[in-house]
Amino acid sequence: MKKLLVFFIAITSLATAQKQHITLEEIWNGSFRTEQMNELNSMNGNFYTLLNLNSETRSTSVDKYSYATLNKVETIVDSKNLSELKYFENYSFNNNETKLILGVDIEPIYRRSSLGIFYVYNIASKSLQLIDKDKIQEPTFSPDNKKVAYAKNNNIYIKNLETNIVTQVTFDGLKNSIINGICDWVYEEEFEFVRAFKWSNDSKNIAFLRFDETEVPTFSMDIYGKTLYPTQQIFKYPKAGENNSVVTLNIYNIEANKSAKIDLGKYEYIPRFTWTKDTNILCATTLNRHQNNLKLHFINTTDYSSKVVLTETDAAYVEVTDNLTFLNDNSFIWTSEKDGFNHIYHYTKNGKLRNLITKGNWEVTDFYGINEKTKTLFYQSTEDGSINRTIYSINLNGKNKRRLTNSSGTNNASFSKNFNYFINSFSDVNTPPIYTLYNAKGEKLKEILNNNALLTRMKNYKLSPKEFFTLKTKNGEFNAWMIKPTNFKSTNKYPLFMTQYSGPGSQSVSNTWNRSNDYWYELLAEKGYVIVCVDGRGTGFKGADFKKITYKELGKYEVQDQIEAAKELGKLPYIDANEIGIWGWSYGGFMSANCILKGNDVFKMAIAVAPVTSWRFYDSIYTERYMRTPQENPTGYDENSPLNYANLLNGNFLLVHGSGDDNVHFQNTMQFSNALIEANKPFDQAIYPDRTHGIYRGKNTRLHLYNKMTKFIEQNLKTTK
């Protein structure tokens, strides 16, 4: 028996020894990439389409599938059959699905915006019609399918597809001055939309926003490229407390060929506008500069009169969402945090509350829509715990709630237009995405796609489980996860490396497959580090009070929580309290910089990538939502800025930034570098030329960055190996 035992141990050790180590090259060359469904577009009836690439012919096609069977019904268009186009990169249908807009040569501008060459494809005649010979933005069919509106050179144009006649709607568009129909930089980034024009349902009017950027300060960045002299990128960027664009809502009447400016009273922002089910009624949302007073306006296009139908206020700020949904009687669905948690409300067409549809100490995290025939709403929520996402249905009257997905983890639904079916994407911490077809009753019909091959492959690697737990500190109880070395022994002492983001309403501790950085954490754990992530106060999905406690003091409570979390973790018998590091990117970089300064007795090292180092440098909409203006709240800005605590640096610090970051400007790192120099504090620095906020474009960029960070950790957090 003793010999058999020795033999078994030897075989087990051999099997363990044969396990592979994850490498940085594998992480960033796509070796662990998950299989995903292409972006799905729901069609009329029980059908959907996918944009597919044929690897043999190198052509692209739009293919139609049946929800009921998941079988391909037909190929709607294939670029191999188009003499004018070898490929296309995106597509959109008109209302009756007889035509498509196909886009090629897409050129990114900022995070969400782009330029491209666009064609209209007629399905019946299989013919292409060029919309404009120049690159344009956001071409959109009219509901009557006869026209396309688009933006070019900061103006709006309409092309009549029957006559080929192009009508110019606006004429005053000018770079860095006037924008018509397309959002300025800060609206695109913070209100998260680009197209700022919309057709009325009868195709007789176009509502659009006009941005007057004249008084907005100009920001410039040197672009180094590979030329003899650098060029400059110059754009309007309103920093906190500075002038915003003056934004107005306008309605252009097609028949009269005339625009009217709409009087919405006093406001600072128009973050949303949409046409209601009443053809003559446009709905617009306005916000004051503090973003704590939101109004919903109904505008009558017959006389351009406007009335406020709903007002929502908050002691801190009101969230802007895309959940406003109009029913056939022009009553509407609205989501709000006004009872302390985000829930669904139903209002009459006059803005009178009919009922609160969902309720409880949990959050509605996505509203998918309503089947008016059955009066059934579909939504995603945290009812299964704040780190999970589950799909539910409920009647319009708030009754007959039904859980549609049973697995605990992260469920994301893509519904058919008629809400008879949905394709669910499920993952959890141990399961990469699985795509499954369900009907509206929550009955699982068929698995479409899984990543079992990746799971099988991952068995060849040394991996440790991600363990969820609740961390108790003097400041509260927080969601957290931990990854330990594969050869973990509770009697050993391990260095602790903490990761976090910590921004308002964010979540880093979630039960989902999140393997981009997780592979890196596994690599670090295999080197002998314990990796921990803690979501402190100010993060999301645990109620408005938990999230909004950081109001007017970004970086105060969040930093306290990371420092206290490190102290509590340092008390664990297997953690070396003298070897604790922290890192973060963007808001997380702001946090890690503050932590090594204000927590210099706790953190031995830190890495800050693309950090905000003073909220005075960041944009108006985001910053003032949480901080008000620097003029109103100077101490909130300065008492939590790393710039003012450079003299406290005792540990080892790596500061990283892309010089072409249009979001968190390189200025943040330059100012902080200067503060550290003036304080005579040594630090390490890595600058990535012309890289934007994500620091990813260019050959080996991410690999180089993660090599740099890995070596810095190894040099400054000592393991027992």
**Catalytic residue numbers, as ranges:** 586, 661, 693
User: Which stretches within 527-556 are classed as H helix?
Assistant: 544-548
Q: Calculate ∠ Cα 303-304-308, nearest 5°.
A: 120
Show the 3-state SS of 617-674: HCEHHHHHHHHCCCCCCHHHHHCCCHHHHHHHCCCEEEEEEECCCCCCCCHHHHHHHH
Residue type, 541: F
Q: What is the dihedral of CA 531, 533, 534, 535, to 10 degrees?
A: 180
Task: Give kind and range of the element (H or E) at residue 523.
Answer: helix 515-526
The helix (run of H) or strand (run of E) holding residue 703 is helix 701-716
Q: Can you give 159-215 as a three-state secondary structure string? A: EECCCCCEEECCCCCECCCEEECECCHHHHHHHCCCECEEECCCCCEEEEEEEECCC
**Structure token pair of residue 639:** 């008492």
Q: What are the beta bridge partners of residue 654?
A: 607, 684
- CB-facing half-sphere around the CA of 97: CA atoms within 13 A: 13
Cα–Cα distance for residue pair 283/273, rounded to 1 Å: 6
* DSSP designation for 191: I
Categorise residue 499: left if φ over 0, alpha if ψ from -120 to 50, beta otherwise. beta
CB 202 within 8 A of CB 143: yes
Q: Is 354 exposed, middle or buried (0-12, 13-18, 19+ CB in 10 A)?
A: middle
Instruction: Quote the CA–CA distance of 60 and 82 in Å, as a whole number.
Output: 11
**What element of type H or E holds 408?**
none
